[in-house]
């Protein structure tokens, strides 16, 4: 299994990881691995979600959803 060494970890960050590891009954190494897995999972999941939203918006037509078109909105605004 590969070994990962990280240098120059800020003391505040190290203390937070150490505290979180103790609360989870894990070693610091196990806690770092858990945090890295979670971060990578969240990152890739959020990218997929963003891409799905972009794809859905490409084919969204407000008029089909019952929204008024911009000309109607301008006329209503000017009539006030």
- Dump pLDDT digits (tens) for 8-17: 999 999 999 9
pTM: 0.55
Distance, CA of 73 to CA of 76 (rounded, Å): 5
CA max distance for the chain: 71
Could you read off the pLDDT of 6-65 as tens digits, one per residue?
A: 999 999 999 999 999 999 999 999 999 999 998 887 777 677 888 888 887 777 777 777
Average pLDDT over residues 2-9: 92
Residue 66: pLDDT band (50, 70, 90) is confident
Q: How far apart are the C-alpha atoms of 9 and 29, rounded to whole Å?
A: 13
Q: Which of 24, 63, 36 is nearest to 71 (CA)?
A: 63
- Residue extents of the structural domains in the chain: 11-60
User: Which helix (H) or strand (E) is 13 found in, with range?
Assistant: helix 11-23
């Amino acid at each position: 299994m590969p070994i990962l060494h990280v240098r120059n970890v800020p003391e505040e960050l190290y203390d937070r990881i150490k505290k979180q590891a103790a609360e989870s009954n894990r070693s610091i190494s196990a806690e770092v691995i858990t945090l890295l897995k979670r971060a990578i999972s969240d990152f890739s999941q959020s990218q997929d979600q963003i891409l799905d939203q972009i794809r859905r918006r490409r084919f969204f037509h407000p008029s089909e959803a019952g929204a008024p078109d911009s000309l109607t909105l301008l006329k209503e605004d000017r009539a006030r």
